[in-house]
Amino acid sequence: MWRSANLWLVPVLYLSFALLARLAALGNERCWTLAKLLGLAGLSLAALALAQTVLFGAKTVMLPGAVQLGTWGAITFHARADLIGNLFMVMVNLIGWIIIGFSQRYLSGEAGQRRYVISLLVTLAAVNVVVISNNMIVLALAWVLTSIALHSLLTFYPLRTQAIFAAHKKFIVSRIADVCLFIAIGIIAHQTGSLELDQIAATISALPALNRDLQIAAVLLALTAALKCAQLPFHGWLIQVMEAPTPVSALLHAGVVNLGGFLLIRFSFLMVASAPAQLLLVFIGAITAVCAALVMMTRISIKVSLAWSTCAQMGFMLMQCGLGVYELAALHLLAHSLYKAYAFLNSGSTNARLNLKAGQPDSLGLGNRLLSGCAGLMIVFALFYLIHPSTSIAQPLFAFAVIIALALAPLLSFNLSRDSILNNFKFVGYAAALVLVYLALHQVFADHLGVSVTDHAGWMTLRVGVVVALFVGLHLLQSVVLEKTYRPLFERLYPMFFGGFYLDDLFTRLTFWIWPAPLKNGTHQPSSRPSRSV
């Protein structure tokens, strides 16, 4: 009971103060002071919950009371106290506490600060419920509340037309995702007779194979995550919400958009048993990651470039889930959240950066770039086999070994072109140390998640082959376009990259034709798409 009370106290505190601020006419200073105290209290309670899990082990903690739903099970407020959930809880409350303090300075002198604080606290409360809930219905309802509260933050400036358009597109995409999620929950509950995640996991793990209905539920969960994580071609709203306040962008990109990945981690016991769902995640995630990385190369605006980076990172995370390495997806989400929160909150101190069109690319030589990729492969695979000398690398880890090697190539290509041999050894050592840290963290998360990778009739080979081909192709294309020799080629590709491959245009026209966005003066957005953010 005391562990359950500790977990649920965090969202209860946030919601209680949001209700108090709504009913009582608190001044701006009083709202901010109490909100910061609540943020610190939420962080402290989350850290205490993490310490309890480390000391006493993972556990499903229960509160009395339930609402029976017949053969589907019951709606309860049971909470999951496990390492992954508690780590995410600490991360959410840490970022929330920082954003509350940053928002007070950012919005100083603005109207509507009390409304902003209320929406921010409701968002944090809902995200905490998503992270700790063991009941599928409670998790889904909290996710819907997160979206609605975030919508209020995205439209904080009601006269900014682009903000209204982007929030409206997000609202439509989120409602489609909600429909997919609730249908999936209904199917799972009907097939297993429970709404509790731990009981469902035990039931599905005992099955020799998923039946057709559970396969459909897994595919719907994959679609839900893709929609919530702003994957192509439903990504436009994530790029176009830059008219919202900067701390809202940080909250969205560092926390809320990551919930799609967290959902897949929570349902990993189902997803790893469904080949169609895994294949869908790999294709959507890998293609989004590659395309968004190419588009990001052309952007001047720091915030827009960061938004495309988030789109690419979410695609990479879905691809990790599609390959069955959920421990890497969890590690990626935590690292991305912390990095992206800092990047957005620090974006105001950076004026702009030169893009490939405006500036001159570094001419390190195409051969040097390709050789650096080969050097990265040698370093990574040597360390992999050094750690596991008696076993072969599993196929998914082979794919990520290639990706890590390609990620090290820019570091190696820039520094190994120097004359100093000592300098070369130093940066090779840095690269090796990064790989070792990554492998160690992977092992820690793998031990606690315990998700086994399953090959379904050879489909794993197809998934790994698609991933490796796409990322090797991305490395080759980026190496080519960064060289002056191939400048005419990039001049022809630049408009397509800059336009985001025009994938958002059709979706925007369709959604605004079906449901125009209401503007402040009561008019509506015409059927044509809004201007593209640059």
- pLDDT at position 10 is 92
- pLDDT at position 36 is 93
Collapse the DSSP code of 230 into the 3-class scheme (helix H, G, I; strand E, B; otherwise coil) and give the result. coil
Q: Which residues contact 107 (CB under 8 A, 6 or more apart)?
A: 113, 116, 245
Highest mean pLDDT (candidates 219-223, 377-381, 443-447): 219-223
SS (H, E, C) 44-100: HHHHHHHHHHHHHCCEEECCCCCEECHHHCEECCCEEECHHHHHHHHHHHHHHHHHH
Rounded to an integer, the average pLDDT of 395-414 is 75
Rounded to an integer, the average pLDDT of 130-152 is 93
Confidence of residue 530 (pLDDT cuts 50, 70, 90): very low
- pLDDT at position 465 is 83
Confidence of residue 13 (pLDDT cuts 50, 70, 90): very high
Q: Is the pLDDT of residue 417 over 80?
A: no
- pLDDT at position 456 is 54
Confidence of residue 217 (pLDDT cuts 50, 70, 90): very high
Tokens of 32: 């901010």
What is the per-residue DSSP string for 293-357?
Answer: HHHHTT---HHHHHHHHHHHHHHHHHHHHHTT-HHHHHHHHHHHHHHHHHHHHTGGG------TT
Cα dihedral 136, 271, 205, 4 sign: negative
Provide the strand spans (E) within 194-287.
Answer: none
Tokens of 239: 């790029």
Mean confidence (pLDDT) of the chain: 81
Rounded to an integer, the average pLDDT of 488-496 is 75
Q: Is the pLDDT of residue 98 over 90?
A: yes
Please state the φ and ψ torsions of residue 135, each to the nearest 5 degrees.
Answer: -105, 130
Which stretch of 188-192, 385-389, 483-487 has the lowest confidence by average pLDDT?
483-487
**Rounded to an integer, what distance in angstroms lies between the CA atom of residue 397 and that of residue 328?**
10
Q: Is the pLDDT of residue 100 over 90?
A: yes
Highest mean pLDDT (candidates 145-159, 443-457, 493-507): 145-159
Q: What is the pLDDT of residues 27-38, one digit of tens each?
A: 888 899 999 999
With beta carbons less than 8 A apart as the criterion, state whether 355 and 298 touch: yes
**Rounded to an integer, what distance in angstroms lies between the CA atom of residue 159 and that of residue 272?**
46
- pLDDT at position 354 is 45
Rounded to an integer, the average pLDDT of 223-251 is 87
Q: Is the pLDDT of residue 176 over 80?
A: yes
Q: Is the pLDDT of residue 162 over 90?
A: no
Q: Is the pTM of this model over 0.75?
A: yes
Q: Is the pLDDT of residue 529 over 80?
A: no
Q: Is the pLDDT of residue 148 over 60?
A: yes
For residue 234, give the nearest of 223, 250, 245, 221 by alpha carbon: 223
As a whole-number percent, the residues of the chain with pLDDT over 90 amount to 27
Confidence of residue 227 (pLDDT cuts 50, 70, 90): very high
- pLDDT at position 361 is 47
- pLDDT at position 37 is 93
For residue 345, give the nearest of 253, 261, 229, 258 by alpha carbon: 253
For residue 324, the one-letter residue type is: G
Which stretch of 135-139, 164-168, 227-231, 455-459 has the lowest confidence by average pLDDT?
455-459
- pLDDT at position 120 is 94
What is the per-residue DSSP string for 448-464?
Answer: HH-PPP---TTHHHHHH
Confidence of residue 423 (pLDDT cuts 50, 70, 90): low
Please state, as a whole number, how many other Cβ atoms lie within 10 Å of the Cβ of residue 231.
Answer: 24
With beta carbons less than 8 A apart as the criterion, state whether 428 and 391 touch: no
Q: Is the pLDDT of residue 527 over 60?
A: no
Residues, the chain: 534
Please state the φ and ψ torsions of residue 518, each to the nearest 5 degrees.
Answer: -75, 135
Q: Is 25 exposed, middle or buried (0-12, 13-18, 19+ CB in 10 A)?
A: exposed
Please state, as a whole number, how many other Cβ atoms lie within 10 Å of the Cβ of residue 400.
Answer: 25
Please report where in the chains the tokens 């570094």 appear, as a residue: 362
Dihedral-angle region of residue 193 (phi above 0 means left; psi in -120 to 50 means alpha; beta otherwise): left
